[in-house]
Every structure is written in C-alpha cells, then in structure tokens.
Amino acid sequence: MPSLKDLKTRIESVKSTRKITKAMQMVAAAKLRRAQDAAEMARPYTERFNAVMGALAASVGDSDSAPKLLSGTGKDDVHLLVVMTAERGLCGGFNANIAKLAKQKATELKAKGKTVKILTVGKKGRDAMKRDFGSLFIGHIDLSDVKRIGYADAQGIAKDILGRFDAGEFDVATIFFAKFVNVVSQTPTAQQIIPAAFDAPEDGSAEATTLYDYEPDEEAILADLLPRGVATQIFAALLENGASEQGARMSAMDNATRNAGEMIDKLTIEFNRSRQAVITNELIEIISGAEAL
Amino acid sequence: MAETMQFDLVSPERSLMSAQVKSVQIPGADGDMTAMPNHAPLITTLRPGILTVETEKGTEEFVVTGGFAELGESLSVLAERALPKGDVDQATYEAMVDEAQAAYNQTKETFKNEPGPVDDAAKLLADMVAVGGHIGLSPKQPSL
C-alpha cells in the first residue's frame, strides 16, 4: 500500500503529464489545420497535372520510343521502396503503420526472388525498418530541419530517386505514405511512381477526345513532364503525410489526455480512501486509549 | 464586352490566380504566345519568363520558372514556381539565377560530350537571366 506522500507525488506527476499531452494536442490541432490547408492548396495542381499526363501518356501509349519513366525498363527485378514517415514519434500508430505496410511489401517481394532496396524519408521509418531490413538501405533523406514542407523538398527527393533510376539502380519505385482520410483515420498507402501510373481521366468522354496541339512535340513534353510528375507525386504524398501525422498525433494526444484524467480520478479516490483510513485509525487509537483508562 | 475565358495559374504549393481573362501571354518553350478565348487546344511547356494576364480590370504579371500550360476551353498554367512580379526582389531573383547556374554546372559535369542537355541547361540559365532585365532588376551575369 503506497503511502499518502507517494500517492500525492504520483497525482502531481500525472497532472503535469496531462498538461503536456494537452498542450501537444493543441499544437497538433493548429498544425493540422495548416497541413490540411497546404494539402488543399496543392490539390488543383496535382489534379490538373495528372489529367494532362493521363491524356499524354494515353496518346504516346506503349510505343517503343516512350520514355523509360513511363514504360519502365522492361524488367521488374529490382524494387525501390521509398518509405516516408515522420521525423518525430508520439503520434499513435502513424509511423508503425507505414513501416508495417512497407515491411510486408518487402517480405513479399523478397519471397518472389526480387531485389529490394529501401530509401527512407523521415527518421522514424528508418528506425522502424532498421532491424529487419537495415542491410537493404541505400539512403536516407532527413527532413528534420524542414519547418514547412515545400515543393523544393519534394524536388530534392525526386532528384535523388531519378538519379538512381538513370544510373540503373532499380526498375520499379513505390512510395509508402499515409493518406489523410480524417483526423482519426489515416490509411497507409503504397503508390507506384516509376514507371508512372496515371489514372485515366474520370470524365473520359470530354478529356480524351480533345485533340491537343503540342509545342514542342508530344515526346519532348512528356520527357520534360515525367520527372516533374515524380516530384509532384512525392510532394502530394509528403503533404498527405504531414496532415496525417498531425491528425494521428492529435488523436493520440487526445487519448493520452483522457487516460491521464482517468488515472488522476482513480488515484485521487485511492488517496482519499487511504487518508480516511489514516484518520479512522488515529480515532480508534485515541478512543481505545481513552477507554483503557 | 470582349470575350473572356477561365484562367487558372497554379503552382504546386498554391493557386495564384483564378479569374475570367481576356488574354494571357505565355512564355512557351518555343517562343512567346498569346492565348485568347477560343484558341485551338494546345499543350506547351514553359521557359522561365514573364506571364502577362490581361483581365477586364487591368493586367497582372507573374514570373514563372517552367512548367506547362494546357489550353482548351479554359487555360490552366501549371508552373513549377510562380510569383507575382511585385514579389520578386533582387535577392529572390539572384537565388533563382544561382539555382539555374548550379543546374547548368552540374549538367556540364554529367554530360561532357553531349551538347544536347548542356545547351538546354544553358538556355534555361540565359532565360532566367533575361527575366531579370524584364522586371527591371539588374541582371546577374552568368558564367557559361
């Protein structure tokens, strides 16, 4: 049975923990707003981009002259997994879920006899993957100094990946990130970026039948745009990830705050009970002392 | 009243302009062009330059650094980076030129005996430098 003093210190310490988690929750909520706005702002660009690329890719099709970024290298022996996670923890299952999906995929690919290479973006994913797949790491991109994700960051990552692709280091690249559904739910997602897979325009009727003039020619445009496409997809994924991270942290901290509250209630009851027990004990002592006289 | 069309200028980070416009001057990769309502459908890549938008209320100018334009019923310009002309000061401009210079230097390293990519990078750098003159900043001299 813990003494009164022990209980009191525990209550105090849980209270200060609650203050911290509460503050973190509020910070995450504010950041989430900003991250969501950023993701929202980027959406028109990504949507238009994919629509145009879809149309272009369809018109160039599978011809032999199609750029490698679109048609692939013709093999799928070496897979590059780009695992994008947060730089910080304390955000529930966010990092773990992405890492889990990536691990699953890596195991699957290895079972099929493919070579797997892993590029990590974000410290937490690196830590999570290190144990089982540390030998497959080929690089790491650190974003811990980045306050606000900008397009330039995505370009940097894209440049790294494209450089490796040009050097023939891999055939297929897949990015792993968490798609932001809402504050309480983020879905870990795998998306293939090389060779590029563009969704066909949804309202296919209007988009697909427009015959565009191309200046310069289609292939030159495609060659110019495909690397940008990689950067765009990475940028979109980074933003989704940013919003997801804050969402996950917010709900994790909300839970933590609530749990701390429950714990305080429990401890307070225990504290009151034992205080009462001490008082009763003292009374009994006094009374039995008086009776003995 | 002159005919107008829908115009959107978006960069990856935000949407800069969405309005009804009379005409837009686009710095296309193969030369400047002016897009007006009912233009034939066209897709072109951009070179670094000035994008001039003419609306009923007046003209607005943006500095764009590459990307592409899709011209159909409406015009969408998807710029890699776009800034209102007024927001570009000497420091921003010099940073952009430095970036192009770095890209050029790197290309020259990578493709020693292939003139194609090097020329492309040189042109990009030259375009970037020319932008400075257009917006009234002192052009930074590149080293080619």
pLDDT in tens, chain B (144 residues): 568 899 999 988 888 889 999 999 999 888 889 998 888 888 888 888 889 999 888 899 898 888 889 888 889 899 888 888 887 777 778 888 887 888 777 777 777 766 677 777 777 788 877 777 777 777 667 666
DSSP letter (8 states) at residue A205: H
Tell whether B71 and B101 lie within a shared domain.
no
pLDDT at A88: 87
Which positions in chain A touch B11 (Cβ < 8 Å)? 45, 151
- Which residues of A form the catalytic set? 91
Q: Do A212 and B70 touch (CB under 8 A)?
A: yes
* B35 and B57 fall within a common domain: yes
Boundary of a domain, candidates B64, B85, B106: B85
Whether B139 is covered by a domain: the verdict is no
Contact A225 B45 (CB under 8 A): yes
Name the residue range of residue A178's domain.
22-252
Pairing mode of beta strands A78-84, A115-121:
parallel
Kindly report the CATH number assigned to the domain that includes residue A39: 3.40.1380.10
Report if residue A226 sits inside a domain. yes
Interface test with B, best of A41, A59, A215, A235 (most B CBs within 10 A): A215
Beta-carbon-side half-sphere exposure of residue A6 (alpha carbons within 13 Å): 5
Quick one: A112 exposed, middle or buried, by C-beta within 10 A (0-12, 13-18, 19+)? exposed
Smallest Cβ–Cβ distance between A48 and the set B14, B41, B78 belongs to B78
Question: Cβ–Cβ of A224/B68 closer than 8 Å?
Answer: yes
Is there a domain that residue A72 lies in? Answer: yes
- A268: helix, strand or coil: helix
Q: Are residues B41 and B25 in the same domain?
A: yes
Angle of helix A4-60 versus helix A218-292 axis, rounded to 10: 170
| Domain count of the fold of chain B | 2
Please tell me whether residues B105 and B125 are part of one structural domain: yes
Same domain, B63 and B129: no
> Is some CB atom of chain B closer than 8 A to the CB atom of A57?
no
Nearest residue of B to residue A55 by CA position?
Answer: B43
A213:B10 CB<8 A: no
Q: Could you tell me if B69 and B103 lie in one domain?
A: no
Say if A87 falls within a structural domain.
yes
pLDDT along chain A (293 residues), means of 10: 89 96 94 90 86 76 68 83 90 91 92 91 89 88 82 88 89 92 89 75 48 78 84 90 92 95 96 95 95 90
Residues of B in contact with A41 (CB under 8 A): 13-15
CB contact under 8 A, B10 and A48: yes
Nearest by CB: B42 against A44, A213, A220: A213
Q: Which of B9, B10, B81, B99 to mutate to test the interface with A (most CBs of A within 10 A)?
A: B10
B143 within a domain of the structure (yes/no): no
As a whole number of angstroms, the distance between CA A51 and CA B124 comes to 26
Nearest residue, CB atoms, A48 vs list B14, B41, B70:
B70
User: What's the whole-model pTM score?
Assistant: 0.84
The CA distance from B22 to the nearest CA of chain A, in Å, is: 21
Q: Measured between CA atoms, how close is B45 to chain A, in angstroms?
A: 6
Q: Check if A232 contacts B (Cβ < 8 Å).
A: yes
- A8 lies in a domain? no
The tally of domains found in chain A comes to 1
Contacts of A42 in chain B (CB under 8 A): 12-14
For B45, which of A49, A150, A221 is closest by C-beta distance?
Answer: A221
Q: Do B77 and B28 share a structural domain?
A: yes
Residue A15 is assigned to a structural domain of this protein: no
Same domain assignment for residues B38 and B102: no
User: Does B79 lie in the same domain as B32?
Assistant: yes
A271 falls within a domain? no
Q: Which residue of chain A comes nearest to B99, CA vs CA? A: A152
Q: B16 with B81, same domain?
A: yes
Asked whether residue B124 is assigned to any structural domain, the reply reads: yes
Q: Which of residues 106-165 of A touch B (CB under 8 A)?
A: 150-151, 154
Token pair listed for A149: 């994700």
CB environment B84-108: b (16+ within 10 A), e (fewer): ebeebeeeebbebbebbbeebeebe
Whether residue B103 is contained in a domain is answered as yes
- Fill in the DSSP letter of residue A260: H
B144 belongs to a structural domain: no
> Which ranges constitute the DSSP H helices of chain B?
90-110, 115-134
B114 to chain A: which residues are within 8 Å by CB?
none
C-beta of residue B51 within 8 angstroms of C-beta of residue B61 = yes
- Same domain flag for B60 and B94: no
Query: Helices A123-133 and A94-111 sit at what angle, rounded to 10 degrees?
Result: 40
Angstroms from B120 CA to nearest CA on chain A = 11
Residue A204, pLDDT score: 44
Q: What is the pLDDT of residue A245?
A: 92
Predicted local confidence at residue A62, as pLDDT:
57
A215 touches chain B (CB under 8 A): yes
**Residue B55 domain boundaries:** 5-85
ipTM for the predicted complex: 0.78
Between helix A218-292 and helix A151-166 the angle, nearest 10°, is 120
User: What amino acid occupies position A3?
Assistant: S
**One domain, residues B81 and B123:** no
A210 in contact with B, Cβ within 8 Å = yes
Residue A47 lies in a domain: yes
In a domain, A270, yes or no: no
Nearest by Cα to A49 from B15, B107, B89, B87: B15
Nearest to A211 among B14, B41, B80 (CB): B41
pLDDT for residue A207: 47
CATH number, domain containing residue B38: 2.60.15.10
| pLDDT at res. A143 | 85
Alpha helix locations (H) across A61-192?
68-71, 94-111, 123-133, 151-166
Å between B142 CA and nearest CA of chain A: 22
Mutate to test the interface with B, among A151, A160, A212 (most CBs of B within 10 A): A212
- Chain B residues within 8 A of A210 when measuring between CB atoms: 41, 72
